[in-house]
Amino acid sequence: EVQLVESGGGLVQAGGSLRLSCAASGFTFDDYSWGWFRQAPGKEREGVSCIESHDGSTYYADSVKGRFTISSDNAKNTVYLQMNSLKPEDTAVYYCAATILSCSWYLVSFGSWGQGTQVTVSS
């Protein structure tokens, strides 16, 4: 059974940092690309960052470039999202997702999703 479990969310003041983790099980980790998405209340789910396991290529939404860093520990089957200089507009539920394809922002490309972790940034 494939499973993605996110952790690390919470409440933080603007300017603060959080690190999200996504533990993957049931996958051949290196065969997948791993994405972070977020969904704020009343808004559509959007792509935040993605990493391709085969060569470590990383991608970021313009809104988080220079503030967020995605990484993976293939030995631990875990993907991380380090979030610095957080802003109130970063408040959302953050989801980890897996795709056998290359990174993209198309939600339908990702066949497996975690349950999400809430990130709240206060002003």
pLDDT tens, residue by residue, 75-116: 999 999 999 999 999 999 999 999 999 999 999 999 999 999
For 111, half-sphere exposure in the C-beta direction (CA atoms, 13 angstrom radius) is: 8
Separation of alpha carbons 117 and 22, rounded Å: 10
Q: Collapse the DSSP code of 6 into the 3-class scheme (helix H, G, I; strand E, B; otherwise coil) and give the result.
A: strand
Contact 81, 23 (CB under 8 A): no
Burial 79-95 (b: 16+ CB within 10 A, else e): bbbebeebeeebbbbbb
Where in 8-100 does DSSP place strands (E)? 10-13, 18-25, 33-39, 46-52, 58-60, 68-73, 78-83, 92-99
Contact 46, 61 (CB under 8 A): yes
Share of the chain above pLDDT 70, in %: 100
Beta strands 117-122 and 10-13 are parallel
The 10 Å Cβ neighbour count of residue 41 is: 7
pLDDT of residue 1: 86
- pLDDT-based confidence at 71, cuts 50/70/90? very high
pLDDT of residue 102: 95
